[in-house]
Amino acid sequence: MTKLVVLDAYALTQGDNRPLETLLGRYGTPYIYDRTAPEEVLARAKEADFLFTNKTVIDAATIEAADHLKMIGVLATGYNVVDIGAARAKGIPVTNIPAYSTESVGQLVFAHLLNIMARTDQYAHEVREGQWSAQPDFSYRQGPIVELYGKTLGLVGCGHIGQAVARIALAFGMKVKVVTRKAPEELPQGVERASLEEVFSDSDAVSLHCPLTTDNVRMVDTRLLGLMKRSAVFINTARGGLVDEAALADALAGGRIRAAGLDVLAVEPPAADCPLLRLENCFITPHIAWATEEAIGRLMQILDDNIRSVIKNTPINNVAK
């Protein structure tokens, strides 16, 4: 009997495991857990033929103990939760789900940017509270509304998501500068290559689209934030660890930048006393950029393709080659 084990399905399925059960049931018997505590991982994994995780850590000891393991599937793009070296040493493919949420993340970047520049959240709240109804004039304004046309968007990273965000920005009539290793001729038309310092100092909004590595932990610090215009907006839908959150909180509280739109934090979920949560000019969504219905549909299709490829002994999206 082929045993397919999912260690932490809840973030993907929100408790409705039926589509995942149907998909995995094509290949054997699914065992789907909403969440798995660290002390439960070994017991749940050691008999698995196919083991799946989103954010639950699969370490070398777990991989060594799982004698039947034919595949480790990460239900996301990032795969730092798996000990790749240990899997490679045992010849176990580790598959990820690449490029499934590109358009969805790009959409949320602009949801944050438009909300901040057009004050949609503020005005919708104030109208609901009756403040427009109490005015003598047809138009009610409290604070400036800013258009994106002609403004500069700075991007740190120009992979699939960075390029999608650049495309949207150009459609709004924005100028785009990007920090990238790509040669200028490799960039989309209308996108200018720039240094990290130039992007932070010259842009009206800066958006992060780079992976988190040991070299760039908390790279967005007091120095970089200090280069930004007071009217500028900071957006992060990449990884929370890229940002020195204390420095960002200070910059926001002191009015040294206009606002921030964040979908990721260094610790998720955040502690109740995280200083960013209390700032009126910090707009935080709970790590949902990836989670549109369409993106989840693509994720499930790629997952199916990954499993079938491993069964055929021709694994795709294998990050442990």
The single residue of 167, 287, 298, 308 carrying the catalytic annotation is 287
- Told to judge if 35 belongs to the known catalytic residues of this protein, a careful annotator would answer no
The residue from 239, 258, 278, 294 that is catalytic is 239
Query: What's the 3-state SS for the chain?
Result: CCEEEECCCHHHHCCCCHHHHHHHHCCCEEEECCCCCHHHHHHHHCCCCEEEECCCCECHHHHHHCCCCCEEEECCCCCCCECHHHHHHCCCCEECCCCCCHHHHHHHHHHHHHHHHHCHHHHHHHHHCCCCCCCCCCCCCCCCCCCCCCCEEEEECCCHHHHHHHHHHHHCCCEEEEECCCCHHHCCCCEEECCHHHHHHHCCEEEECCCCCCCCCCCECHHHHHHCCCCCEEEECCCHHHECHHHHHHHHHCCCCCEEEECCCCCCCCCCCCHHHHCCCEEECCCCCCCCHHHHHHHHHHHHHHHHHHHCCCCCCECCC
The tokens describing 27, both together, are 């290949």
Asked about 308 being catalytic, the answer comes back as no
Active-site pick, 147, 186, 268, 294: 268
Tokens linked to 287:
């790590």
Active site residue 268: yes
Q: Which residues are catalytic?
A: 239, 268, 287
